A and B are shown apart, each in its own frame.
Chain A
Amino acid sequence: MDLKRLLYAASHEWSDINDQICTMGITQYAVDQLTDVTHLQLPKVGTATTAEKPLGEIESVKAVFDLYAPVTGEVIEVNEAVRRDPSLINQDPYEKGWMLKIRMVPGSDLSHLMNYEKYSKQIAEGH
């Protein structure tokens, strides 16, 4: 995965957008903060998502965090492998650890997402 091609939310979800389909997961930085992921709660196929609103939760040994929708649209695919074995997120957050594919509504606003340089700067500042 070319990390420079992805878009990033301040809440540490990455988005890979192709033909109005957004594939999402969480970043290596988020994984490092979380420690071992033990449980994942993801929406079902067909669920409507709203950008920047919670759509699930991710739980590690130490803590639990909300997952936020990067885009407005509809869930069209859930990574069943990662649902069964959330440790895939620790092993490989950008490839095997993807979580959802969301079909975006036409004309979606993506201005709340950051490019790689901007996101890298945010995490370098430690938040």
Chain B
Amino acid sequence: MAELKTVLNDWHRQHGARMVSFGGWDMPVQYRGIIEEHKAVRQHSGMFDISHMGRLYFKGNGIIPFLDKLCTNQIESMKPNQVRYSLICNSNGGILDDVLVYRLAGQWLVVVNASNREKIVQWIKNHQIDGDFQLVDETLHTAMIAIQGPQSLRICQDLFVDSIQDLAYYYSKPNKIIAAKIGLDASDENLEVLVSRTGYTGEDGIEIIANNSLAVPLANTLLQLGVVPCGLGARDTLRLEAAMPLYGHELHENVDPIQAGLEWAVKLNKRNFLGREGLIRTRDSHERIRIGLELEGKRAAREGALVYSQTQVVGQITSGSYSPTLDRSIAMAYVRADYGILKTALLVDIRGTFTPATVVALPFYKRPGSK
């Protein structure tokens, strides 16, 4: 199957990106360098093309009960414009995807992982029986750009008709780009965008969903304003420092949200949702948990590396990297719950060398001033 390309594909290549295959899409892994891009987001502002994320719009009277059946988190209680993180689970409670649900005016948006888009659309269709709603997949008609880092709101504020300063964390708002600010004629249509105060980096910032035609002018304008183009490489190291799980690594169908440390996004007291019975069945028998590790030295523990207590295997690494912010080797792992206690001394087999590691609190990094 041919790789999908976002509307910014040529733009990435023109700006020196090295491209890789990711979730069925041809995406930039880096432009000038992962560490430089990572630091730009921590200290200033960086932009990411996240148009590969699936954007599924729902309309219809039956949508709230359906989303509450689909999602582990509470949907009905969401306020207008609110955004909420949720898992979608199979009947055993295994994670099919982690998603953001947006309550918009007259419709709902669910943003899913690129690699899971077709699976989730199919899952929804399989469970749509009698559901009074329509699903429209807008992934290929729209672009999505994340602007992340402490200076991002200040830099972006003048691009929009309405202020973005009062946008609360995990809220979205329909807005309009000021055509002249991105070098377009005012008569150009499709200046309507959706701006949310969300992200996947551990920094403040926004994510913009716009019509495809706005993507290149917007990216050019952001670049002129000093926002650094960032690839999937930096996105991965940033989310790892912030201990955000990544589907295909920390999350998959053989792990449930409780093991993954995402119990806060599961409302077992909700009437019924897909996977609830499975989660209740296994909730008191959780033999493994997601933990953070800090390793000695600078060698990274890669996915799949085994975690030992003395000579006994007690777990496995799911993500690991050199941390540019902390200047040390960090990793997330699933380990037997009795070995996941803070400050426990463990060993990680890094290509044959048993490397000392210590269980530490997650996240590894919190932005200054956050809770």
Instruction: Contact check, A36 vs B35: say whether CB atoms are below 8 A apart.
Output: yes
A1 in contact (CB, < 8 A): no
A52 in contact (CB, < 8 A): no
B18 proximity list for chain A (CB < 8 A):
32, 35
Interface-located stretch among B116-124, B205-213, B295-303: B295-303
Query: Looking across the interface, which residue of chain B has its beta carbon closest to that of A57?
Result: B351
List which B24-47 residues lie within 8 A (CB) of chain A: 29-30, 33-36
Instruction: Contact check, A61 vs B34: say whether CB atoms are below 8 A apart.
Output: yes
List which B332-351 residues lie within 8 A (CB) of chain A: 351
The distance from the CB of B53 to the nearest CB of chain A, in whole angstroms, is 21
A59 in contact (CB, < 8 A): yes
Question: Which of B36, B233, B297 is within 8 Å of A62, CB to CB?
Answer: B233
Query: Looking across the interface, which residue of chain A has its beta carbon closest to that of B232?
Result: A62
Question: Provided the pairs A59-B299, A59-B300, A62-B233 are in contact, do residues A36 and B29 lie with their beta carbons within 8 angstroms?
Answer: no
B321 in contact (CB, < 8 A): yes
Number of interface residues of A (CB under 8 A): 15
Residue from A32, A62, A63 having most chain B Cβ neighbours under 10 A: A62
The distance from the CB of B295 to the nearest CB of chain A, in whole angstroms, is 11
How many A-B contacts if CB must be within 8 Å?
45
Query: Looking across the interface, which residue of chain B has its beta carbon closest to that of A90?
Result: B33
Interface digits, A35-73 against B, CB 8 Å rule (1 contact, 0 not)? Answer: 110110100000000000000010111111000000000
B196 in contact (CB, < 8 A): no
Question: Provided the pairs A32-B18, A38-B322 are in contact, do residues A62 and B299 lie with their beta carbons within 8 angstroms?
Answer: no
List which B285-338 residues lie within 8 A (CB) of chain A: 297-300, 302, 321-322, 324
Instruction: Contact check, B34 vs A39: say whether CB atoms are below 8 A apart.
Output: no
B73 in contact (CB, < 8 A): no
B90 in contact (CB, < 8 A): no
Instruction: Contact check, A38 vs B302: say whether CB atoms are below 8 A apart.
Output: no
Instruction: Contact check, B299 vs A61: say whether CB atoms are below 8 A apart.
Output: no
The distance from the CB of A74 to the nearest CB of chain B, in whole angstroms, is 24
Q: In the bound complex, how far is the Cα of B200 from the Cα of A47, in angstroms?
A: 45
Q: From DSSP, what is the main secondary structure of chain B's interface residues?
A: mixed
Question: Provided the pairs A36-B35, A38-B322, A39-B322 are in contact, do residues A64 and B30 lie with their beta carbons within 8 angstroms?
Answer: no
Question: Which of B233, B297, B302 is within 8 Å of A35, CB to CB?
Answer: B233
Instruction: Contact check, B35 vs A61: say whether CB atoms are below 8 A apart.
Output: yes
A62 proximity list for chain B (CB < 8 A):
29, 34, 233
Interface digits, B231-268 against A, CB 8 Å rule (1 contact, 0 not)? Answer: 00100010000000000000000000000000000000
A63 proximity list for chain B (CB < 8 A):
302
B302 proximity list for chain A (CB < 8 A):
63-64
B351 proximity list for chain A (CB < 8 A):
57, 64
The distance from the CB of A26 to the nearest CB of chain B, in whole angstroms, is 16
Q: In the bound complex, how far is the Cα of B29 from the Cα of A39, in angstroms?
A: 20
Q: In the bound complex, how far is the Cα of B321 from the Cα of A39, in angstroms?
A: 11
The distance from the CB of B297 to the nearest CB of chain A, in whole angstroms, is 8
A41 proximity list for chain B (CB < 8 A):
299
Q: In the bound complex, how far is the Cα of B321 from the Cα of A38, in angstroms?
A: 10
Question: Provided the pairs A61-B321, A61-B322, A62-B29 are in contact, do residues A36 and B34 lie with their beta carbons within 8 angstroms?
Answer: yes
Q: In the bound complex, how far is the Cα of B231 from the Cα of A36, in angstroms?
A: 13
Query: Looking across the interface, which residue of chain B has its beta carbon closest to that of A32?
Result: B18
A60 proximity list for chain B (CB < 8 A):
34
Known: A60-B34, A90-B33. 14 other contacts (CB 8 A): A35-B29, A35-B34, A36-B33, A36-B34, A38-B35, A38-B300, A38-B322, A39-B298, A61-B233, A61-B237, A61-B321, A62-B233, A64-B299, A87-B35
Which residues of A approach B to under 8 Å, CB–CB?
Answer: 32, 35-36, 38-39, 41, 57, 59-64, 87, 90
